[in-house]
Structure 1
Amino acid sequence: MKIFSKYPVLFAVFTAAVLFILFQCKTDKHQPINEDLGTVKNEISKTNTAFEKQINELMALVSRNADEKAIQTKFEELRITYKKMEWAVEYFLPNSARFINGPALPEIEMDEHTELEPEGLQVLEELFYPYTPENKDEAVRYLKKLINKSNTIKTNFQAITISKDQIFDAARQEIFRISSLGISGFDTPVSGTFLKEMPYSLEAVQLTLQQISTEKSKEKALKDINSAIGAAVNVLKKNTDRNTFDYVNFIPGHLNKITSLLLEFKKQEAIPDIEVTSALSKSAATFFSKNAFNPNAFVPGKEFAFSDEKAALGKKLFNDKILSNNNTRSCATCHIPEKAFTDGLAKSMSLENAELLRNTPSLNYAGFQHGQFWDMRKDDLEGQSSDVISNKEEMHGDLNIILGKINQNPDYLPEFKKIYRTSKAETWQLQNVLASYIRSLAKFNSNFDEYMRGNRSAMTENQKQGFNLFVGKAQCALCHFIPLFNGTVPPNFKKTEQEVLGTAVNGNNQSFDQDLGRGKFHQTVEALQHSFKTPTLRNISKTAPYMHNGGYKTLKEIMNFYNKGGGKGFGFKVENQTLSDTPLQLSDQEMDLVIDFMGALNDR
């Protein structure tokens, strides 16, 4: 707003109007604002007006002690209205979106070691399902906060300029959001109304594309998109039961089809790419396309960008004992390829053959996480590699000494010179080549991937049933997000989540494991005590034993732990447990089916 400081105080009363006009006339660097894009903003404004009206109506119901059913019905209407503008709010106002429809968990400010109170629709959901009059004051307080967020939407969309490429990008992200968070019920964990809401999200995208389309696509891609969304909506309206919905056919048969058609729409409308590095490639037709994910979205800087040459050099060093103090251990000693780069032991072993604190994590797909090690103490793979090398119990290496050896080695020095165009290898370069090799370990070639790419014979019938349980009744996809199956939150993939499960010492679930996890580094933040990174489930059947402590020998023990409601389900006092303590009521056969599906996540 500093550009408007030149206006005299005399005209302050007209500031809001002047700002509105100036922003509307401003030229976007991608594509200029036009009448159709103004229509998009008007639709967002209209929806937000309805959103605020419904908040006030819900507040009135709560204030006069209406019955639970009336409150829940109005709340579901409110959620549906938000879904109609979710595509825009999530894209243009992500910080606000977190407090409108984010998880009912504290937002952690890591640098300040503080927690921000959760608020928004998911917090209200917990108050309304079930609803008791004792929740009235709290509900009113959160509804007032929600009105403030609605005002934020109003103010910002009056001021900002939006372009056609941004609108398309936002609409595309919404379909991918539906394909991961939406399809799992991520934002309705208590009520489970997500299948009822999804048609409104899809139709909002459909309307938005219609508003920005021209004659170039109306009888081509847009027509096909309208047909595909219509077909998806028809399926959703026929079955809204999360436990019996056919996810395994709906994703490839409908959602993947829509995201593929979006690229054709983009091509026909000649819409340019947004010039921002993102985890999901702008050219990816679906979540499951080959090379859909860009590892460079997870590197600490441009100079760390992935290349095959770096990965090849990193592989040599990964398997070379030159990185350890006494030349007796390489990275591959504890990260064995046949075991999905784990070691098969309950806990890692030190150089002196003593048991360390935690289980060796898999390196497969580690490149798609913001946070390394179980406790996430390093932000990226570059930091992870140096931490392990210099750890006196693991490799006890000295980076300066190692670099001295590399710079005198005729096999390594020329390669470093060629890649980095420097006279000698440097510390960050050593870290980078090792990290690049680890980034290359994500193959995305499992039977599940093949099935989602159209090969309907790639998974067995049991595995298909297992996937439907995984997403539905077992609720695994609430934390292990499709398609990475880790805790990196789609569709932006800018944050990796940690969870508090209430993990026991072992699969007998008799005593609580006292490891503070990430909480060790944030001791004043209650929400992080005993929290651990959510790892990928890709190749999970190769990485036994399980959990951060290696205390669970089999996937059946893991499924039993989740089925009972985690640590709380076994009577542990874990006040900050993020895993729902409500038993899943999975039968023994159903647990076996989920395990069978997880076998389809093994790379070939």
Structure 2
Amino acid sequence: MHKLSKYPTLLILYAAAALFTLYYCKNDKQPPVYEDLGSVKNRIFKTNADFEKQINELKTLVSNNSDEKLLQEKFQDIRKTYKKIEWAVEYFLPNSARFINGPALPEIEMDEHTEIEPEGLQVLEEMFYPYDKGNKEEVTRMLNKLINKSNTIETNFQVITISKDQVFDALRQEAFRISSLGISGFDTPVSGMFLQEMPSSLEGIKETLEQISTDRSKDKALKSIVTEINSAIEVLKKNTDKNTFDYVNFIPNHLNKLTALMLDFKDQENIPDVEVTTALNKNAATFFTKNAFNPNAFTPGKEYAYSEEKAALGHQLFNDKILSNSNNRSCATCHIPEKAFTDGLAKAMSLENSELARNTPSLNYAGYQHGQFWDMRKDDLEGQSSDVISNKEEMHGDLNVILAKINQDKNYQAAFKKIYHSQKTEVWQLQNVLATYIRSLAKFNSDFDEYMRGNKSAMTENQKRGFNLFVGKAQCAICHFVPLFNGTVPPNFKKTEQEILGVAVNAENRVFDNDLGRGKFHETVPSLQHSFKTPTLRNSNKTAPYMHNGGYKTLKEVMNFYNKGGGKAFGFKVENQTLSDAPLQLTDKEIDDIIEFMKALDDR
């Protein structure tokens, strides 16, 4: 002890270790679970080793000119193995995940106006379904790239530290990925084998929760989770046909129960939240829990945070003609609440009462998108509001003139000062209150939401059949993602996608619409030419006419366009079309049921 006294830091560490040992011996508890996370990493390493081994086996089969069926079976084994560690790779290595199992589309570097070659499992799926032996060399090249990504997984997990709160957060995220992308077949658009894969994803969640659990949850939440996952897997094994699977009941009966039980597990294990702002609130039991979504995940910064006071002031200004140059037009002139904040016209009208280039989009769920306007030229609603106000054809307002008017109005001045505590209103504050009002318009109270919350009488039989078709045979949900039904990709909701459909000028589908969309701002990026934001289908029953040009008068006309296979099916040369050109082969009755389902997405 004399030596220890000469080194006070060593003495403190010795005392801390003694107290730590005494505490755990006295309370007869398990050691901290952080010591056990090495076993979680070891399982990741083992599964990843199996993943790489199977890729090499597939390379051998390709080299030996094996038949297509054998190649497809081995490919499916590879996908199922990856699904067991998808939770870890997506959470801790998201960039690698994009190139392991991302869409078979170029990754776009917007700032650089360049494209990065797609690779990974979805690219390989297109090569194996069907398989052309003439592509052997290219298939082998892609398999080698996949091996490199497996090596990346190994290298990174050797050096990163993973904590219990992070592992739980990753598993919860995976459960929501299954409930949105997994259940829709987002990453198996060609083979449609997603129902066969989902058990592997669920097993990955179950096994890892078992690893990080303690006695606090083993006979409680964990036991219930294991039972629920086993039950879900049994249902999945009974019917693997994507066209007849009962999605509308599987989600509330199994997937929603799983995500809710995981919160019980978190509480019993006293797992803290990972302190990161996310679109899905940390206390959301399901996608359909009231107030599940956090609008602040879509704002430019903390000072733009949502508040009811901002929304109320924004509502007042939204309806005030003070925002236009001649005080003759308000935001509400073109965004009518009864029409889900559209105007019911094919194309928006200018101040001079002439047609503008595009259809007026709905505002109801615009707050849950990264990219505003059809061409996504503004990142957020703050930028969108000022763009519209200052546009000479829309409102022709001058923000400085408008601010002068507001600062001379005692009521407005007082309201802004109460919220922002500044002597004079600033441009960003005006933008923020308008944007906040628009964010307040997302109600999430449709019949579909009620059904998913357990009210089995909320939807008709036709609507339930329609949802099953929407997710399954029609493949609508691989672009209009549940639960927002727009192009904002779950479960992180950090990116909103655009699509190239090959839209015609009208529903006769004889003349191609040459509007470049997002491509106008990225002329050197082929995959963005004629691309447009994927809008929400919530309230779509109220927002006719449709598409960016308003050329399709009814949902039936829209569905007929999709059913045929988009622009390519009508002979348009759309080499970069992202919509599959394979006919959906939906019957008229099936189309009618899908339309009935979309009516169930109307806010009450």
Q: Deviations over 1:461-502 (max 9, x none)?
A: 000000000000010001000000000000000000000000
The equivalent residue for 1:81 is 81
The equivalent residue for 1:180 is 180
Query: Cα offset for 1:112?
Result: 0.1
Q: Does the aligned pair in 2 maintain the 1:501–1:579 contact within 8 Å?
A: yes
The equivalent residue for 1:319 is 319
Give the letter aligned to residue 567 of structure 1: G
For residues 76 and 535 of structure 1, what CA distance do their matches in structure 2 show? Answer: 33
Q: Secondary structure at the match of 1:217?
A: coil
Q: Is 1:72 aligned to residue 61 of structure 2?
A: no
Q: Deviations over 1:258-293 (max 9, x none)?
A: 000000000000000000000000000000000000
Aligned positions of 1:21-420 closer than 5 A: 34-420=34-420
Q: Deviations over 1:336-372 (max 9, x none)?
A: 0000000000000000001000000000100000000
Q: Secondary structure at the match of 1:276?
A: coil
For residues 590 and 256 of structure 2, what CA distance do their matches in structure 1 show? Answer: 27
For residues 36 and 463 of structure 2, what CA distance do their matches in structure 1 show? Answer: 46
Aligned positions of 1:482-561 closer than 5 A: 482-561=482-561
For residues 453 and 439 of structure 1, what CA distance do their matches in structure 2 show? Answer: 22
For residues 258 and 449 of structure 2, what CA distance do their matches in structure 1 show? Answer: 18
The equivalent residue for 2:477 is 477
Gaps of 5+ in 1: 1-30
Q: Secondary structure at the match of 1:262?
A: helix
Q: Does the aligned pair in 2 maintain the 1:33–1:162 contact within 8 Å?
A: no
Q: Secondary structure at the match of 1:216?
A: coil
Q: Does the aligned pair in 2 maintain the 1:33–1:161 contact within 8 Å?
A: no
Q: Deviations over 1:122-143 (max 9, x none)?
A: 0000000000111101100000
Q: Secondary structure at the match of 2:216?
A: helix
For residues 315 and 285 of structure 2, what CA distance do their matches in structure 1 show? Answer: 31
Give the letter aligned to residue 527 of structure 1: S
Give the letter aligned to residue 524 of structure 1: T
Q: Does the aligned pair in 2 maintain the 1:564–1:584 contact within 8 Å?
A: yes
The equivalent residue for 1:603 is 603
Give the letter aligned to residue 213 of structure 1: S
Identical positions, percent: 79
Give the letter aligned to residue 166 of structure 2: Q
Q: Is 1:580 aligned to residue 580 of structure 2?
A: yes
The equivalent residue for 1:564 is 564
For residues 187 and 32 of structure 2, what CA distance do their matches in structure 1 show? Answer: 35
Q: Is 1:589 aligned to residue 589 of structure 2?
A: yes
Q: Does the aligned pair in 2 maintain the 1:32–1:163 contact within 8 Å?
A: no
Query: Cα offset for 1:182?
Result: 0.1
Query: Cα offset for 1:63?
Result: 1.1
Q: Does the aligned pair in 1 maintain the 2:34–2:164 contact within 8 Å?
A: no
Give the letter aligned to residue 308 of structure 2: D
Query: Cα offset for 1:35?
Result: 3.2
For residues 386 and 359 of structure 2, what CA distance do their matches in structure 1 show? Answer: 19
> Compared with structure 1, are the counterparts of its residues 184 and 277 closer, same or farther at alpha carbon in structure 2 (3 Å cutoff)?
same
For residues 292 and 299 of structure 1, what CA distance do their matches in structure 2 show? Answer: 17
For residues 52 and 111 of structure 1, what CA distance do their matches in structure 2 show? Answer: 34
For residues 475 and 132 of structure 1, what CA distance do their matches in structure 2 show? Answer: 25
Q: Does the aligned pair in 2 maintain the 1:342–1:543 contact within 8 Å?
A: yes
Give the letter aligned to residue 522 of structure 1: H
The equivalent residue for 1:3 is none
For residues 181 and 536 of structure 1, what CA distance do their matches in structure 2 show? Answer: 16
Q: Deviations over 1:241-262 (max 9, x none)?
A: 0000000000000000000000
For residues 573 and 36 of structure 2, what CA distance do their matches in structure 1 show? Answer: 56
Give the letter aligned to residue 74 of structure 1: K
For residues 308 and 376 of structure 2, what CA distance do their matches in structure 1 show? Answer: 27
For residues 228 and 216 of structure 2, what CA distance do their matches in structure 1 show? Answer: 19
For residues 358 and 481 of structure 1, what CA distance do their matches in structure 2 show? Answer: 24
For residues 571 and 207 of structure 1, what CA distance do their matches in structure 2 show? Answer: 50
Query: Cα offset for 1:34?
Result: 3.1
For residues 530 and 187 of structure 2, what CA distance do their matches in structure 1 show? Answer: 24
Query: Cα offset for 1:161?
Result: 0.2
Q: Secondary structure at the match of 2:108?
A: strand
Q: Does the aligned pair in 2 maintain the 1:281–1:293 contact within 8 Å?
A: yes
Query: Cα offset for 1:571?
Result: 1.0
* Alignment: residue pair count: 574
Give the letter aligned to residue 199 of structure 1: P
For residues 308 and 507 of structure 2, what CA distance do their matches in structure 1 show? Answer: 41
Q: Deviations over 1:497-527 (max 9, x none)?
A: 0000000000110110000000000000000
> Compared with structure 1, are the counterparts of its residues 412 and 131 closer, same or farther at alpha carbon in structure 2 (3 Å cutoff)?
same
The equivalent residue for 2:460 is 460
Q: Does the aligned pair in 1 maintain the 2:33–2:212 contact within 8 Å?
A: no
Give the letter aligned to residue 231 of structure 2: A
For residues 513 and 33 of structure 1, what CA distance do their matches in structure 2 show? Answer: 59
Give the letter aligned to residue 514 of structure 1: N
Q: Does the aligned pair in 1 maintain the 2:173–2:491 contact within 8 Å?
A: yes
For residues 241 and 69 of structure 1, what CA distance do their matches in structure 2 show? Answer: 18
For residues 34 and 325 of structure 1, what CA distance do their matches in structure 2 show? Answer: 62
Runs in 1 of length 4+ with deviation above 2 angstroms? 31-35
For residues 566 and 474 of structure 1, what CA distance do their matches in structure 2 show? Answer: 13
For residues 503 and 491 of structure 1, what CA distance do their matches in structure 2 show? Answer: 29
The equivalent residue for 1:24 is none
For residues 601 and 518 of structure 2, what CA distance do their matches in structure 1 show? Answer: 27
Give the letter aligned to residue 222 of structure 1: L
The equivalent residue for 1:447 is 447
Q: Secondary structure at the match of 1:469?
A: helix
Normalising by structure 2, what TM-score?
0.95
Give the letter aligned to residue 396 of structure 2: H
Give the letter aligned to residue 482 of structure 2: I
For residues 206 and 314 of structure 1, what CA distance do their matches in structure 2 show? Answer: 46
Q: Secondary structure at the match of 1:412?
A: helix
Q: Deviations over 1:12-49 (max 9, x none)?
A: xxxxxxxxxxxxxxxxxxx9873321110000000000
> Compared with structure 1, are the counterparts of its residues 164 and 596 closer, same or farther at alpha carbon in structure 2 (3 Å cutoff)?
same
Gaps of 5+ in 2: 1-30
Query: Cα offset for 1:410?
Result: 1.3
Give the letter aligned to residue 323 of structure 2: L
Query: Cα offset for 1:458?
Result: 0.2
Q: Does the aligned pair in 2 maintain the 1:486–1:534 contact within 8 Å?
A: yes
For residues 489 and 545 of structure 1, what CA distance do their matches in structure 2 show? Answer: 25
Query: Cα offset for 1:548?
Result: 0.1
For residues 170 and 224 of structure 1, what CA distance do their matches in structure 2 show? Answer: 19
Q: Secondary structure at the match of 1:344?
A: coil
Q: Deviations over 1:411-460 (max 9, x none)?
A: 20000000000001000000000000000000000000000000000000
